[in-house]
Amino acid sequence: MTTEDIKETANIDRLNANVAKVEELSERLIAALSHKRQVPPPLQGPGDDLYMKAGAAYWAEMLHHPSKMFEQQVAYWGRTLKHFIETQETLAKGKLTPPSDDTPADPRFSNELWERHPYFNFVKQQYLMSAQAIETAVANIEGLDDKDRYRLNYFTRQIIDMMAPTNFLGTNPDALERAVETEGASLVQGLENLVRDIEANDGELLVTLADKDAFKVGVNIGTTPGEVVYRNRMIELIQYTPTTETVHATPLLIFPPWINKFYIMDLKPQNSLIKWIVDQGYTLFVVSWVNPDASYADVSLEDYISEGFLTAIEQVKQITGENKINAVGYCIAGTTLSLTLGLMEKRGDKSVKSATFFTTMTDFSDQGEFSAYLGNDFVDGIEQEALDKGILESFYMARTFSYLRANDLIYRPAIRSYMMGEAPPAFDLLFWNGDGTNLPARMAIQYLRDLCQNDKLAKGTMELFGERLGLNNVKVPLCAVACETDHIAAWVASFNGVKQMGSKDKTFILSESGHIAGIINPPSKKKYGHYTNEGPLDDAAGWKAGAQYNEGSWWPTWGKWLAERSGKQVPARIPGEGDHPSLAKAPGTYVIAKKG
């Protein structure tokens, strides 16, 4: 047998193996789809009401201003037809080059074939011209209120992004090149990745963003030493081991969001906010929330406050022997901390010396990008799903947050995994992002209805524990940290909430970057700067215009503010001593428990 015969036999064997693998994966795919999760129609897209309003507005525009509509159509067809003719003329001259291309730069089209190959360049230009025409047509529709207009623009953009040529194998040069290079093996591996994700998510497609086997909480992520010193059905309270001989007398208690898990603040030693705080000489406590199952269906915001916030504050006081603590609330926990502080003010409880809010919304009158999902159509669907299941499953939260950054968190990862056949990266932040939690039904509905939709906290009409609570009830010294490009808790909205709080001692810090990177921004990285302004919090734009830009992380700036409110130095406190023995090593058991 010649060398060529051996190669041909090997190729045939490889082809047969790939065909057999495809058949096996196809059977698994069909089986997985046959057990598809039943997602309620209201959670699959906006309700008919939005389409009806948009359709009526469009036809009204057509009837009253037909020339405007025809001008848009003629302009679009003129551009696309001109481009088509120029492409044909270039090819007719025997030139395998595209015509001139003045479309804007787009990271999705980074492969050089999008620029120099006639086919791919034609597809790209036609797509971008069509996208611009659709966006213009939708933006020019009159007769819609601001909320409906925003939602229409948002979901239009979702459709445009979904139909990008990069999302389809036949029009993605990167995927086609990889398929040729690997003799089709990349496509087989991509199919295997696709089947794996669909099997893991009950027949729904949710792209795996990070290698789930690369990290283990408490082993190579979330490893700062500490002890669980208290536990109830809602929380584990972790006290971290000091690294200094003395500490500030006033302990610090952090309430992380329960939409995600607390170890975002302790991914690795180099970027751990928890470790950094301990190293600054603080007795640090962090709450780790339970990941609820259906048995928590009736758990409310009141339960989170009483069994979470108030209980944790009391336990920290008992453990340290201090009458006052400093508290931090992150995201939704910051919102709930403001409710807790308002309640404590009403009750005359002075246990909190100062409060810090990380990326916290308390005024929900402008919710930015997230407002697309706060119409009654979606919220009604969420309410029914939560009531039926007893919880709002983490699946829905993960999918919603992913669509807020669809190109980064859905389409690009899907292309790499399913078309290129790449394994998910070993990326700690994305691993955490995929480690979501459920929400109790009652609490989720309260949060969406009372806070997000009706803005009762800012209006001063939030009723809990028989008290009417508002932002004016938050009177402790406070510091708020917002992030400039935050798409979940927009900095201006955060600013407006702080402005309404009753405290006479307010500090506002604006970090560069977004919801996560702006907060998890260690000084050693020297990556994102921050803005400070000691002037009054009257107007967000005016505050920023007069603010001082500071190079590097906001952590030291906040650290200085906190130190001034944390008392004298006392001997370091060792966790697990006295009446609060260790129940488990940090990061505890709740954070690694399987989802309910």
Question: φ, ψ for residue 321 (rounded to 5)?
Answer: 75, 10
Contacts 24+ apart (CB under 8 A), 99-102: 101/125
- Please say whether the beta carbons of 264 and 520 come within 8 A: yes
Tokens 């997602």 sit at which residue? Answer: 39
- Please say whether the beta carbons of 359 and 494 come within 8 A: yes
The DSSP H or E segment spanning 559 is helix 555-563
Eight-class DSSP state of 408: I
Question: φ, ψ for residue 286 (rounded to 5)?
Answer: -135, 135
Compute the distance between CA of residue 222 and CA of residue 209 in angstroms, rounded to an integer. 19
Tokens 């700690």 sit at which residue? Answer: 428
Eight-class DSSP state of 566: S
Peptide bond before residue 269 is cis, with ω within 30 degrees of 0: no
Eight-class DSSP state of 170: G
**C-alpha angle 426-431-434 in degrees, rounded to nearest 5:** 140
**C-alpha angle 23-28-33 in degrees, rounded to nearest 5:** 125
Beta carbons within 10 angstroms of residue 206's beta carbon = 17
Diameter over CA atoms, the chain: 93
Three-class DSSP category at 218: coil
Active site includes 479? no
Tell me, rounded to whole angstroms, the distance of Cα 164 from its chain centroid: 23
The catalytic site residues sit at 331
